[in-house]
Chains A and B, each alone.
Chain A
Amino acid sequence: MDIRDPGPSAATRGRIVIDDVVKIYDPEGAAVMAVDHCTLDIEAGEICMIVGPSGCGKTTLLNAVAGFHEITSGRILMDGETLCSTEVPRAAPGPDRIVVFQNGALFPWKTNLENVIFGPVMQGRLGRNEAIDKGRAMMADAGLIGIEHNYPGEVSSGVRRRVEIVRALMNDPKVLLLDEPYRALDSLTKSVMHEALLEIYYKNRVTIFFITHDLEEAIFLGHRVAIMTTRPCKPKKVLAVNIPHPRDYGVLTSKRFRELIEETNEAVHEEALKAFQAGEKEG
């Protein structure tokens, strides 16, 4: 059984190739290397989890894919087309690759529904009324009913995260870039959010590039888990999670899951220790 292909509706678009990417901050001055010749091939419709200690440079990688940062050399391709390269160092941000931010970036001055319809309306892809219909339908699909006219500040942070993912999916993106979206949540809410994310994924089949420092989260969600070295960042070990999708929380207690944790724990711990020592030196 092909564990990479959880169902017949698997995606055919959204392949991201990160090819020998280097990112050096302040090349003329302090020259801090954040990403070091990083190569990673993320398949269409895959959930690829990027695990590394805080500050290891994984967000830099995400920002390069999203188009928020320039790269120093190398190239990043999406479905064969160059997003950025040594010649064109910065990708143009766009609705085919949508970021869900660490602290959430729903606009507090817009209601949840206005947030959800923001993308299609701004791009002129849908009229306002069409967008409202689609937004309501997608929110209902994600179990978000009765909060359309509330502001994000009025709902719990777990609900905010779900609204933000719906806002991204409204644009029919090829790739979702998630930057530790559940970091601030407690473990119980986190588990609910994980299942909600998988449910959304099974319906929508987008490529998911998910950054985290939580190994259990990574193995539970991912088709593959890339464990990154700390500053500069590059894949240290890429692990295929051979637990079939669809998954639910029963997986957490399975023997296979524990084995995978054991297999990777040491690599992650080693990097965390390095990051800690590096921090000590700087401090």
Chain B
Amino acid sequence: MEITWNAAAAGDRTAALREAIPFESVSGATLQRIAALARPARYAGGERIYNQGDEADDIYVVVSGRVEHVFGPEISAEQAIKHMGRGGVFGWAGLLLGQTRRFASATALEPTEILRIGTEDLVKTLEIEPLEGSAVMERFATMIQREFTVPALLAKVRRLSGAPLTEEMSSLSLTLYRLSLWLRSPRPYLMLVGFALFLGAWYLAVEVWKVPRFREMPGVTGVVKEWLSPSPTYGLSIYTGEYYQHIAMSVWRVTQAFFLATVLGVPFGLFLGWSRKFKEYVFPIFELIRPIPILAWVPLSIVMFIATESAVIYLAFLASFFATALNTMLGVESIDESYVRAASCLGANRWQVFRHVVVPGALPFIFTGLQISVGVSWFSLVAAEMVSGQYGLGYVIWTSFVMVRYPTIVIGMVTLGVVGYVTSAMVRVAGDYLMEWRVRELALAER
């Protein structure tokens, strides 16, 4: 039974659409377009909304009340019966590839208000913005699989004209999709507010209130001015070549240390986890050396390597190596025994098990390790550069302190933060690229 609504309810019905999983992240304009298509309807408690086998013409979104949705037995849904309230979406069969009939029935359990949207109209509307539209269709597919527990086989949504095929979505475009979701969420804006508050507090503490402990601190305006100045007072800003030489030097050192630590640490960790005997020989020594702080290694490393350069890289390498090896070992140990058993059942030999089960199974942990590793590599590099360096950001910070160039200290610190973050993000992107299966699982879980 269809009814017409007054204008006051229009806002509420748009709000209900926004609560529907597929429309949660669409732009305001698209949501308005969808809302314009929606026709309100009201059902009494116990009234049948549609039957299995009916023509799949409309999609339904619950505004209020409760609806029971029951699949026929030939749909191998893990849970055949689903109840839904406000924001619940059903009647999506028409969006699926090759489906024109309802394969479930829906009944109102109590007096229920519903929005009906014509399937063809919705598809046309989504095609106006094909990229956003295909994100909506993707969310439909995800919702159908996850909320309605329908097998992925059936939950294949129709393709919008002009949109990329979802099967062809590479891990890169999935990463981009997650990025676009992030930009549409409130998180980046909260982040900006956080930054503003932090800088504001710094400004107030140093330059306005002149809090005693901060008296000698460089102020935020001084630092920014120095940093962006074409002729900086203390000789270092984004316009001086020297600034980039320092960055390049530090990056080059971390790259070498990180590369060595990965090339040696990953195989070492894999064998630690894979061979019990090897672990029994090596692990006790490993665990004894690992907790020694990197600064304690400075004298010995200078003794070992006559050249300062190698000593600095060695220190950065050492911390990195331990983080990588330890996480890799834990990764191997985390692998479910049944994967190894399944592989040996299927006729894989020991080496094949290693190559096809142990390495990919440990990969998530390995990449966690590499992210930590790149961080500690920066940490120990800067410590080493402060003690014995020629160039580099750690050297900049220390010499600026000795020569009382306080704003330059902060420039060095902030630069370290940014460069460190970028290297860590690069490791993450490499991980996403190598572990497409994991990226897809995470994208399905909408994280």
Nearest A residue (CB) for B435: A109
Assess the A156–B150 pair: CB atoms within 8 A. Answer: yes
Cβ contact of A145, chosen from B77, B153, B167, B363, cutoff 8 A? B153
Stretch of B51-59, B101-109, B337-345 at the chain-chain interface: B337-345
Assess the B435–A185 pair: CB atoms within 8 A. Answer: no
Nearest B residue (CB) for A63: B341
Q: Determine the distance from Cα of A97 to Cα of B347 in the docked complex, in whole angstroms.
A: 10
B440 within 8 A of A: yes
Cβ contact of B361, chosen from A103, A109, A145, A149, cutoff 8 A? A109
Q: Determine the distance from Cα of A116 to Cα of B130 in the docked complex, in whole angstroms.
A: 35
Q: Determine the distance from Cα of A174 to Cα of B76 in the docked complex, in whole angstroms.
A: 29
B149 within 8 A of A: yes
Stretch of B256-264, B326-334, B352-360 at the chain-chain interface: B352-360
Cβ contact of B152, chosen from A93, A154, A186, cutoff 8 A? A154
Cβ contact of B167, chosen from A68, A122, A149, A191, cutoff 8 A? A149
Assess the B437–A109 pair: CB atoms within 8 A. Answer: yes
A137 within 8 A of B: no
A side interface size, CB within 8 A: 44
Nearest B residue (CB) for A92: B344
Min Cβ gap B216→A in Å is: 54
B192 within 8 A of A: no
Q: 8 Å CB contacts to A: which residues of B57-93?
A: 73, 76-80
- Residues of chain B within 8 A of A107, CB atoms compared: 339, 342-343, 356-357, 360-361
B136 within 8 A of A: no
Cβ contact of A188, chosen from B77, B345, B349, cutoff 8 A? B77
Q: A108-B437, A118-B356, A158-B78 are in contact. Are A171 and B153 (CB under 8 A)?
A: no
Cβ contact of B339, chosen from A105, A146, A147, cutoff 8 A? A105
Where the two chains meet, the residues of B that have a C-beta atom closer than 8 Å to any C-beta of A are 73, 76-80, 145, 149-153, 156, 167, 336, 338-339, 341-349, 352, 356-357, 360-361, 363, 435-438, 440-441, 444
Instruction: Supply 13 further A-B pairs (C-beta < 8 A) apart from A122-B356, A123-B346, A158-B78.
Output: A95-B345, A105-B342, A109-B435, A110-B360, A118-B346, A145-B153, A153-B441, A155-B153, A157-B78, A159-B152, A167-B346, A168-B346, A188-B76
Where the two chains meet, the residues of A that have a C-beta atom closer than 8 Å to any C-beta of B are 66-68, 93-95, 97-99, 101, 103, 105, 107-111, 118-119, 122-123, 144-147, 149-151, 153-159, 167-168, 171, 185-186, 188-189, 191-192
The 3 closest A-B pairs by CB, nearest first: A119-B346, A105-B342, A123-B347
A to B CB contacts below 8 Å, 27 in the list: A93-B341, A95-B346, A99-B345, A105-B336, A105-B341, A107-B339, A107-B342, A107-B343, A107-B360, A109-B435, A111-B437, A118-B348, A119-B347, A122-B343, A147-B152, A149-B167, A151-B436, A151-B441, A153-B444, A154-B152, A155-B152, A156-B76, A156-B149, A159-B151, A186-B78, A188-B77, A188-B80
